[in-house]
Amino acid sequence: MKKVLLFMPAPFPYSRPWRGVPLALLAISRILDKEGYQIKIISRFLSDNPEKEIIDEAKDSLCLGVSSMVGFQIYDGLKIAKMVKEKYPDLPIVWGGWHPSILPEQTIVNECVDIVVKGQSDRTFPELVHVLEKGGDLKKVEGIVFKDEKKIISNKERVFEDINHFPPLPFHLVDMEKCITGTEPGEKSILYLSSYGCPHRCGFCVEPIVCKREWTGLKAERVVEEWKFLSEKYRINTFVIADSNFFVDKQRVYDICKGVLKKKIKVKWKHANGRIPQLVKYEPEIWEAMARSGCTLINTGAESGSQEALNLIEKDMKVEEIEKFTLLCKKYSIKIQFSFLLGLPWSKDYKENEKFVSGEYKTTSSLIDKLLKISNCNRFTYYIYLPYPGSSLFARAVKLGLAIPKRLEEWSNYLLSPDDGLKVTLSQKWITPEQAKKVNMLSQYIFAVLDYDTLRLIEKTSIRWKKVVLRYLYKIARKVCLWRWNNQSFSLPIDYWLFILIRQYGKLE
């Protein structure tokens, strides 16, 4: 019996389908695949009937592995785990991923969890499987928490390991055609991971807990070879970079770009996460190589136009660096997706907090105005701040009165925004309902329309009548959005409601 069953829960409610490469599950499978184990990866976008398939595969598996982040993945993961536990009560159920790594002791208490794998699991999970197969001693596996009858055992932490020690991801374990997506017409894109961790200390982030502020990246030549292989085998023309921080090693970035150009790999790479203070120090030749090798979009956390807010979240960044970064990206024709936070835990007093949030919104709006004047082809997204367990700001929020879930299943509704139609209360503790509604309207509608690349995407639409109608509607919507933004008027949002309906039924995600 050398079969391992893995399940990737749905990241969003079932009405909002998602697909992509299950990177975490492939990562923990790579050593086992080399060793000849049969790996069965199941997710809702990979299977027509995941429940039936999991029950069928579980009967002769060594364990069921579940990878989960905070939110709906916990709901879906528990739903499957409970079903398997009822059918096969002796089958070990192993949980890993971000949330179990952050709160392993709380996670292990759940009756549908037998073992928790913490942090970097590429080595830990295969070692655990070996022990489960041979009936060995779980106490010898570093980096896990498990139940020993009624006692909970937390083993020694595992040392963070160089990612280059591991084999390539076994993409052949999944139907890659079902993992390919495209945000633009003609795109065949996949999620790609080239590094783990981030050495920085942003107060809202849990990377310092999961990866202990360490970072490891694949060598440049290996990234280039994998891009070449994937682009040829699966006809991929776009890589969506899933790294927490792709740009940590400047020389590695430069070598990747030079390798892509030397081997004439015709691809785009986008959504790479990067820190502004680091990128503004890149030399012109690196920016030039990035642009020529296919970098089309960088994700970055600008977070706020308020220096006081940036200091609170320990961003280690100056507001003026954001403008400098925008000018650089415009020079090299690289789009930026900015993310901003609103609703930070300033004060225990509700009225005082509202005042702080209002002031922060004004300074951020002023900054966005400046950035829009530099380029009208960037995208801005606002997020309502949500305290994540393990982060330094989370501890501050709890001290200021945040009530937090006490059980694993209660984290299912702990969402970033109420977009999914579920009741969200925790995320709005530091922000008024009116401010929250404005944030959603700005991110989903105003900034989407003000981004002039939206019109460029409409022009790529192959259906002529659809292109004509959407072009006309876009021009009207842009005028309305410009007026709303310039006058900071967001009342009677009839146009916003119409936009949501058009986006939904016109399949314009």
CATH number at residue 261: 3.80.30.20
Whole-number Cα distances in Å, 154 to 69, 101, 110, 141, 245: 21, 12, 15, 10, 29
333 shares its domain with 266? yes
Taking residues 217-236, what's their average pLDDT?
Answer: 97
135 shares its domain with 171? no
Reported confidence tier of residue 131, pLDDT bands at 50, 70, 90: very high
Tell me, what amino acid is at 321?
E
Per-residue pLDDT, 465: 84
Residue 233 lies in a domain: yes
Per-residue pLDDT, 429: 66
Query: At residue 507, does pLDDT exceed 70?
Result: no
Reported confidence tier of residue 16, pLDDT bands at 50, 70, 90: confident
Query: Given CA atoms 137, 142, 148, 153 in this order, what sign does their dihedral have?
Result: positive
* pLDDT higher at 316 or 421: 316
Per-residue pLDDT, 424: 39
Whole-number Cα distances in Å, 257 to 267, 396, 445: 11, 41, 34
Per-residue pLDDT, 120: 95
Residue 508 lies in a domain: no
Taking residues 466-478, what's their average pLDDT?
Answer: 90
* pLDDT higher at 356 or 460: 356
326 shares its domain with 371? yes
192 shares its domain with 211? yes
CA-atom Rg of the chain in angstroms: 23
Rounded Cα distance, 358 and 438, in Å: 12
Q: Which of 448, 459, 434 is nearest to 485 (CA)?
A: 448
Provide the 3-class DSSP secondary structure of residue 321.
helix
Which residues form the domain of 207?
163-407
Reported confidence tier of residue 403, pLDDT bands at 50, 70, 90: confident
Residues with Cβ within 8 Å of 350's Cβ and at least 6 positions away in sequence, in order, are none
Residues with Cβ within 8 Å of 375's Cβ and at least 6 positions away in sequence, in order, are 326, 329, 330, 336
What's the half-sphere exposure (Cβ side, CA atoms, 13 Å) at 415? 17
Per-residue pLDDT, 435: 84
Point out the domain boundary residue: 154, 185, 210. 154
Single pTM value for the model: 0.92
Query: At residue 324, does pLDDT exceed 90?
Result: yes
Q: What is the dihedral of CA 484, 489, 495, 501, to 10 degrees?
A: 100
Per-residue pLDDT, 408: 95
Tell me, what amino acid is at 71?
G
User: CATH number for the domain including 77?
Assistant: 3.40.50.2300
Query: At residue 428, does pLDDT exceed 80?
Result: no
Residues with Cβ within 8 Å of 45's Cβ and at least 6 positions away in sequence, in order, are 17, 18, 19, 20, 178, 179
Residue 343 lies in a domain: yes
Residue 185 lies in a domain: yes
Q: What is the 3-state secondary structure (H, E, C) of 9-61?
A: CCCCCCCCCCCCCCHHHHHHHHHHHHCCCEEEEEECCCCCCHHHHHHHHHCCC
Per-residue pLDDT, 426: 43
Residue 418 lies in a domain: no
Number of structural domains, the chain?
2
Q: Which residue reads 């374990």 in tokens? A: 173
290 shares its domain with 331? yes
Query: At residue 427, does pLDDT exceed 80?
Result: no
Q: Which residue reads 């998602």 in tokens? A: 18
Residue 320 lies in a domain: yes
Point out the domain boundary residue: 95, 124, 154. 154
* Contact present, 285 and 255 (Cβ < 8 Å): no
40 shares its domain with 105? yes
Taking residues 414-430, what's their average pLDDT?
Answer: 50
Query: At residue 417, does pLDDT exceed 50?
Result: no
Partners of 268 in the beta sheet?
A: 238
Query: At residue 420, does pLDDT exceed 60?
Result: no
Partners of 384 in the beta sheet?
A: 342
Per-residue pLDDT, 415: 62
Point out the domain boundary residue: 407, 429, 464. 407
Reported confidence tier of residue 404, pLDDT bands at 50, 70, 90: confident
Taking residues 453-466, what's their average pLDDT?
Answer: 83
142 shares its domain with 227? no
Per-residue pLDDT, 509: 54
Per-residue pLDDT, 289: 98
* Contact present, 105 and 68 (Cβ < 8 Å): no
Q: How much of the chain, in percent, has pLDDT values that exceed 90?
A: 76
* Contact present, 7 and 139 (Cβ < 8 Å): no
Reported confidence tier of residue 418, pLDDT bands at 50, 70, 90: very low
What's the half-sphere exposure (Cβ side, CA atoms, 13 Å) at 400? 19
Per-residue pLDDT, 350: 78
216 shares its domain with 272? yes
User: And the tokens for 251?
Assistant: 């020389």
Residues with Cβ within 8 Å of 70's Cβ and at least 6 positions away in sequence, in order, are 98, 99, 102, 388, 389, 411, 414
Residue 499 lies in a domain: no
